[in-house]
Structure 1
Amino acid sequence: MELQRLVDTFEFLDNWEDRYRLLIDLGKDLPEFPESKKTEENRVEGCVSNVWLLSDVNEGEPPRLDFKADSDAFIVKGLVAILLKAYSGRTPEEILAVDIEDLFNRLGLAQQLTPNRRDGFVAMVKEMRSRAQALRAESHAK
């Protein structure tokens, strides 16, 4: 589901119960995350729920980052799915150019999430953007 289609779907749903259900469904559709990778080393700091994040560099010209992530909380898994749609398979420049705050607001999440979930979302964004910045710096150093 493209990001705009996701926004359109969220806007189409009248109530937050339906939107939460959609978030949970998005989380259920996450690709399988290896149990062996659910380690402290791969855990995102700043999330109340456990969130694990892996990234691989897809060596191409330009290089792209592929992310895999998972959580032990249903709503957070949905947030993870949204971030994967926004960031995975993109170049560092594309990742850094995504206005995630705008997307967050257009999905109506800013008003509906608890402060802890919002903080966790911000922590995931920071981690993914940090990895994009590191890859960009590495690419420019070559």
Structure 2
Amino acid sequence: MTENTALPTALAEIVDDFTAVPDPEKLELLLEFSDELPELPARYDGHEEEMEQVVECQSPLFLAVEIEGEPAGGQSVMRLFITAPPEAPTTRGFASVLSQGLDGLTAAEILGVPDDIPNRLGLAQALTPLRLRGMSAMLGRIKRNVRDLTAEG
């Protein structure tokens, strides 16, 4: 767990879950996460045009990042909303990992997350480079939105 101590608690626990299983089971764990992607709130459900598409993903993935309460710069609490179709379980699984690992954190905590999360999950052997790039793009897009939102605050 020592290399994950810089990660926020929820994300560190998810990374630990992945590192605890043998490589052949990592993809299975990711698919389990795909079933746990939180539902969108009514304001976004069926309104993907209100969200941002992550075009680097092979499957249609949309996300929205919001500040909860009053903007407070790096201490602002951020809320993540992500949707991906059930027929894209790999993309949906990583979206769920990010949602569960980052939602409700402060802007500073999210911006401090290392960009190599797909590698820390041990997924490099289980997924194609194209899928890994899509996952990295998802995290990058979330961070960019957080920076944009907190810069305005």
| TM-score, reference length from structure 1 | 0.83
Gaps of 5+ in 2: 1-8
Number of residue equivalences: 137
Q: 2:149, 2:137 → 1: CA distance? A: 19
Cα 1:136–1:41 change in 2 (3 A) is closer
Q: Is contact 1:92-1:135 (8 Å) kept?
A: no
Higher RCO, 1 vs 2 (CA within 8 Å, ≥6 residues apart): 2
Cα 1:21–1:111 change in 2 (3 A) is closer
What do the CA deviations read for 1:80-137 (whole angstroms, capped 9, x no partner)?
Answer: 1111133221222111111131x32221123322122112112211210111111221
Match of 1:38 in 2: 48
Whether 1:28 aligns to 2:53 is: no
Cα 1:91–1:112 change in 2 (3 A) is same
| TM-score, reference length from structure 2 | 0.78
Q: Is contact 1:66-1:89 (8 Å) kept?
A: yes
Cα 1:7–1:80 change in 2 (3 A) is same
Match of 1:127 in 2: 141
Q: Is contact 1:49-1:76 (8 Å) kept?
A: yes
Q: Is contact 1:67-1:84 (8 Å) kept?
A: yes
**Identity rate, percent:** 29
Q: 2:68, 2:80 → 1: CA distance? A: 10
Q: Is contact 1:43-1:52 (8 Å) kept?
A: yes
Gaps of 5+ in 1: none
The alpha-carbon deviation at position 46 of structure 1 amounts to 1.6
